[in-house]
A and B are shown apart, each in its own frame.
Chain A
């Protein structure tokens, strides 16, 4: 099993990831962020759609309105909730930490939850596809049943 497989399995089981912040002295601080759940998906997708409206990556931050920033802050607070690395932080300190490291936290949240811009479109396409394929399967089953019933009726009639 390689590292990518391991990471994928961990993610499937709900594991989060580490936010790495570089210090001026060359050291790196690591903070564990939890994965978000489906109840946060609409908020995440909303923020992502706002970011996609930006013409270039540099303008992404300015594309965010106050509402989106509040949503990201709320999601970030949820991500660090129950994280052992933040157990000594007060609520106020947690908020300050988020404000001070807004962009890297935001990027990490999207990364942990597998929601890059292209991934989001792929996931939505997957939902659409599942619906279409299910219909095809239902149609096939229906046709098979009709054929079966038809045959038995013909048999009965001939008897």
Chain B
């Protein structure tokens, strides 16, 4: 039981580490290479605000693509 709990904990930690890597990756794709030291020093709120804006941009682009697709059809 204890072992299972430990495994669950390790899994949740791994997931979190994946999210951090993913976040760095998304920022680099969007803004260009961000040095690791600079990335680490970003305030948490700032990072998630930027992510929100990236998502809004993607959403807008997706809607535009959908519109164009509909016109072509």
> Which A residues lie at the B interface, using CB under 8 A?
11-14, 35-42, 44-46, 49, 113-115, 123-124, 126-127, 129-131, 133-134, 136-137, 140
Contact = CB atoms under 8 A, between A and B. Distances in A.
Interface size classification for chain B: 20 to 34
Tell me whether chain A's interface is mostly helix, strand or loop, or mixed: helix
A38 B59 contact: no
Interface of B: 12-13, 16-17, 19-20, 22-23, 26, 29, 39-49, 51-52, 54-55, 58-59, 61-62, 65
Nearest to B54: A130
A13 B42 CA distance: 10
29 contacts: A12-B46, A12-B49, A13-B46, A14-B43, A36-B44, A37-B44, A38-B23, A38-B40, A38-B42, A38-B44, A42-B13, A42-B17, A42-B20, A44-B44, A46-B12, A46-B16, A113-B43, A114-B45, A114-B48, A123-B48, A124-B19, A126-B48, A126-B51, A127-B19, A129-B58, A131-B22, A133-B59, A134-B26, A136-B65
A136 B62 contact: yes
B13 to A, nearest CB: 6
Chain A to chain B: the 3 pairs with minimum beta-carbon distance, closest first:
A133-B58, A14-B43, A39-B40
A92 B54 CA distance: 43
Given A42-B17, A126-B52, A129-B55, A37 B22 contact: no
